[in-house]
A and B are shown apart, each in its own frame.
Chain A
């Protein structure tokens, strides 16, 4: 392993808000002006590189990962040595100016490859929890933190949730972290001169993962790739750090528990084929067992063997199931 390199593993923050109907109908949190968004991202230490929106939400590709803004929900995912949790204070301030109150907070991340490079409050999970506890409004009284292990030191799942009431949510979230990418496939994420970003999206097979999604992509120089997919009210997002020794790719999407269950199976199969990782972890957040039970069925036929499966329940958020797989070629 390299002594130090780019930290691919992201930190992810999902915040839900409640507000009055008339404000929500007028776009809700999407009314945040761009200066406020820049200020929030400035606190995290990243910037917007490309963006697209539709009638349901705004999506931003960041210099370090992604931001999604819905009328009552914000998701920020950042990699490298960004200070994601520093977004909470400006977010609370700007959203309360619009008349919104936070109702739920979810923070998740994997295991950093270079933990010693992380700045405060990301120095370790205890520091992160302590910081979250201090920053979050006291009315989010149901709080829980958990580290979900696997058989591998390189993959474990850190979860913190806080909410003010139990709510029912039909959406599920799937977060995939992949390491030791196939070297030949990883080379496709190095930029050629004059290469358009959509060219990389095509040749890597990313455009086939969900052909219905509109993709907003960005290619980094000399290597690295990010994209946000928008398909109606659903987002998906991919981030790739292809350098040998610390190669990493992530895939994340949301779905509804009422969707055709084959959809998520087909998507995960294609994700495995795009990256052929040596090790992958899949975290599923859902209020039902319908989703996670299908995941092994999706990836095992492609030579990924399930090595561990851990489950934990969180108030309002539902169950988080953390599964790890390794390639049979290992």
Chain B
């Protein structure tokens, strides 16, 4: 299963549920990148996300292709790409729609600090 340091591709619904469950168990922040192979903005942000994953091993970074896991994308109401969902203990705590480097970084920082202070 996902260890820190990289962005993990989730390819089946089972895997998705396992990641969510693991996030509940270890109380780590999950950052999920909903992406599509045909989406240019997703390609723009991908290297930046990989850098963040390397820098912040305390956060689990996942990547979900909306065409591959259609049901997950529909359940989570993903309409624009990339959409970043921030999940803590199975619940969505924040969302960043679009490839916005500063906002992505700030939102991660916000939720890491709220974890450590809890």
List the interface of chain A (C-beta within 8 A of B): 26-27, 30-34, 37, 48, 50-54, 58-60, 69, 196-197, 214, 216, 218, 230
> Could you tell me if B98 and A34 are in contact, using CB atoms closer than 8 angstroms?
no
Beyond A50-B98, A54-B80, list 13 extra A-B contacts (CB 8 Å): A30-B39, A31-B38, A32-B40, A50-B100, A52-B97, A58-B40, A60-B40, A60-B41, A197-B103, A214-B79, A216-B97, A216-B98, A216-B100
List the interface of chain B (C-beta within 8 A of A): 36, 38-45, 79-82, 97-101, 103, 106
Q: Given A50-B98, A51-B98, A197-B103 in contact, is the A26-B38 Cβ separation under 8 Å?
A: yes
Interface of B is mostly: mixed
> Could you tell me if B80 and A230 are in contact, using CB atoms closer than 8 angstroms?
yes
Q: Given A34-B43, A59-B41, A216-B98 in contact, is the A52-B81 Cβ separation under 8 Å?
A: yes
Q: Given A214-B80, A230-B80 in contact, is the A50-B101 Cβ separation under 8 Å?
A: yes
Give bound CA distance, A321 to B69, whole Å: 47
Question: What A residues does B99 contact at CB under 8 A?
Answer: 50-52
Give bound CA distance, A176 to B65, whole Å: 38
Closest 3 CB pairs of A and B: A51-B41, A52-B98, A27-B38
Which B residue's beta carbon lies closest to that of A232?
Answer: B79
Question: What A residues does B42 contact at CB under 8 A?
Answer: 53
* Cβ contacts A to B, 15 pairs, < 8 Å: A26-B38, A27-B38, A32-B40, A34-B40, A50-B99, A52-B41, A52-B80, A54-B79, A58-B41, A59-B41, A197-B100, A197-B103, A214-B79, A214-B80, A214-B97
Give bound CA distance, A230 to B36, whole Å: 17
> Could you tell me if A30 and B80 are in contact, using CB atoms closer than 8 angstroms?
no
Give bound CA distance, A33 to B41, whole Å: 10
Max count, chain B CB within 10 A of own CB: residue among A53, A214, A218: A53
Max count, chain A CB within 10 A of own CB: residue among B38, B39, B41, B81: B41
Question: What A residues does B39 contact at CB under 8 A?
Answer: 30, 53, 58
Query: Which listed residue, B81, B103, B106, touches A53 by the CB 8 Å rule?
Result: B81
> Could you tell me if A196 and B103 are in contact, using CB atoms closer than 8 angstroms?
yes
Give bound CA distance, A48 to B101, whole Å: 11
Question: What B residues does A218 contact at CB under 8 A?
Answer: 100
> Could you tell me if A53 and B41 are in contact, using CB atoms closer than 8 angstroms?
yes
> Could you tell me if B38 and A51 are in contact, using CB atoms closer than 8 angstroms?
no
Which B residue's beta carbon lies closest to that of A31?
Answer: B38
Give bound CA distance, A193 to B92, whole Å: 28
